[in-house]
């Protein structure tokens, strides 16, 4: 009797594992390969800035730091689309400067706020999403991450200074702090912009973005940006990249997230299909052996009774 129930248990366990394996292949990837709605990410960059001193007409170099905060607005988002509120502050890093200063502080280089929506899987901007405020600037292309399972191909990437998406060209594969990354290059030059209120000029930018392809997470970003007045006078030369601590944090996060994806999309299906199949086979064999034993027992003739003397 115990063998029979053990066989039934094995069949049930096998069926459960097989269903789990099927769900891990068909349903789970669509659930885990989605940008979560609780993101609140702070990114730090540092480097140098050469800024025009109006008094001397010369460029003055100073260390600079950048703090960018990307926060998901879960209330405005839905199952397919995520709304982002992104703020960035570029500050000359002197006199123990905080991560951001007010507009009257001469150490402030730039402060921006951006609101946009992206697809939770493809990371593509959705310019007409209903959850955006009426004054939100329509975005296009990728904005703050790459898609899950990124490819060695070119993408369109949003440039707020240009006001449109620009080509992000796949350049190479490179290992960064143990993380294999796809590196994409962005180059724009001589783009007309408004440098300040009523002051026109041009804009150049050369960017390299290092992307962990499984999750689409950016691991490093280097940027070399210049601004010029219409007469050719350079007013800004900014060169920044993620800080060392920031790179290490993103590398640690990438390891954790890749392991989670592997567990759900690789190991759970393997355990489900292989373990389920073994349990089903073992359960069937056990039940068959129990049945054969019953048949054998029922077909064995009873011993004749011995007559008393």
Query: Over the stretch 149-188, which tens digit does the pLDDT of each residue have?
Result: 999 999 999 999 999 999 999 999 999 999 999 999 999 9
Of 284, 246, 292, 255, the closest CA to residue 15 belongs to 284
Encode pLDDT of 27-50 as tens digits: 545 556 789 899 999 999 999 999
What distance in Å separates the CA atoms of residue 190 and residue 194, rounded to the nearest whole number? 12
Q: How confident is the model at residue 6 (pLDDT cuts 50, 70, 90)?
A: low
Residues paired with residue 156 on neighbouring β-strands, in sequence order: 167
Do the Cβ atoms of 181 and 210 come closer than 8 Å?
yes
What distance in Å separates the CA atoms of residue 16 and residue 6, rounded to the nearest whole number? 15
Classify residue 181 as exposed, middle or buried by CB count within 10 Å of its CB (0-12, 13-18, 19+).
buried
Percent of the chain with pLDDT over 70: 75
Please indicate whether residue 67 or residue 273 has the higher confidence score (pLDDT): 67
Encode pLDDT of 282-305 as tens digits: 667 766 776 666 665 566 555 555
Which range among 2-16, 71-85, 132-146 shows the weakest confidence by mean pLDDT? 2-16
pLDDT of residue 198: 84
Residue showing tokens 């490093």: 220
pLDDT of residue 202: 94
What distance in Å separates the CA atoms of residue 91 and residue 93, rounded to the nearest whole number? 6
pLDDT of residue 309: 42
Average pLDDT over the chain reads 85
Which range among 99-108, 249-258, 288-297 shows the weakest confidence by mean pLDDT? 288-297
Main-chain dihedrals φ then ψ at residue 74, nearest 5 degrees: -65, -30
Q: What's the full length of the chain, in residues?
A: 309
For strands 40-53 and 199-212, give the pairing: unpaired
pLDDT at 18 over 90: no
Report pTM.
Answer: 0.81
Which range among 1-5, 59-63, 131-135, 191-195 shows the weakest confidence by mean pLDDT? 1-5
pLDDT at 14 over 70: no
What distance in Å separates the CA atoms of residue 304 and residue 309, rounded to the nearest whole number? 15
> Can you tell me whether residue 227 is helix, strand or coil?
strand
pLDDT of residue 282: 67
pLDDT of residue 308: 47
Encode pLDDT of 116-127 as tens digits: 999 999 999 999
pLDDT at 22 over 70: no
pLDDT of residue 260: 74
Domain residue ranges of the chain, discontinuous segments joined by +: 28-263
pLDDT of residue 25: 53
What distance in Å separates the CA atoms of residue 195 and residue 234, rounded to the nearest whole number? 11
């Amino acid at each position: 009797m115990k063998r029979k129930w053990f066989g039934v248990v094995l069949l049930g366990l096998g069926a459960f594992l097989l269903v789990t394996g099927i769900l891990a292949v068909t349903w789970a990837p669509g659930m885990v390969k989605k940008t979560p709605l609780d993101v609140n990410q702070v990114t730090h960059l540092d480097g140098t800035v050469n800024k025009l001193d109006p008094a001397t007409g010369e460029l003055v170099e100073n260390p600079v730091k950048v703090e960018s905060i990307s926060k998901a607005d879960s209330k405005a988002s839905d199952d397919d689309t995520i709304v982002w509120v992104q703020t960035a502050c570029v500050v000359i890093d002197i006199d123990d400067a905080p991560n951001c200063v007010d507009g009257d502080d001469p150490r402030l280089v730039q402060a921006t706020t951006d609101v946009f929506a992206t697809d939770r899987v493809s990371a593509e901007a959705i310019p007409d999403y209903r959850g955006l405020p009426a004054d939100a600037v329509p975005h296009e292309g990728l904005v703050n991450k790459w898609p899950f399972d990124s490819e060695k191909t070119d993408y369109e990437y949003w440039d707020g200074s240009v006001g449109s998406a620009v080509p992000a060209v796949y350049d190479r594969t490179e290992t960064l702090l143990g993380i294999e990354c796809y590196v994409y290059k962005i180059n724009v030059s001589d783009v007309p912009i408004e440098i300040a209120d009523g002051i026109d000029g041009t804009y150049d930018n050369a960017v390299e973005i290092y992307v962990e392809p499984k999750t689409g997470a950016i691991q490093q970003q280097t940027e070399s940006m210049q601004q010029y007045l219409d007469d050719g006078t350079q007013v800004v030369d900014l060169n920044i990249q993620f800080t060392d601590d920031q790179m290490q944090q993103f590398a640690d996060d990438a390891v954790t997230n890749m392991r989670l994806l592997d567990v759900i999309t690789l190991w759970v299906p393997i355990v489900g299909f292989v373990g389920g199949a073994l349990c089903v086979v073992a359960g069937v064999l056990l039940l068959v052996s129990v049945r054969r034993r019953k048949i054998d027992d029922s077909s064995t003739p009873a011993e004749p009774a011995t007559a008393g003397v």
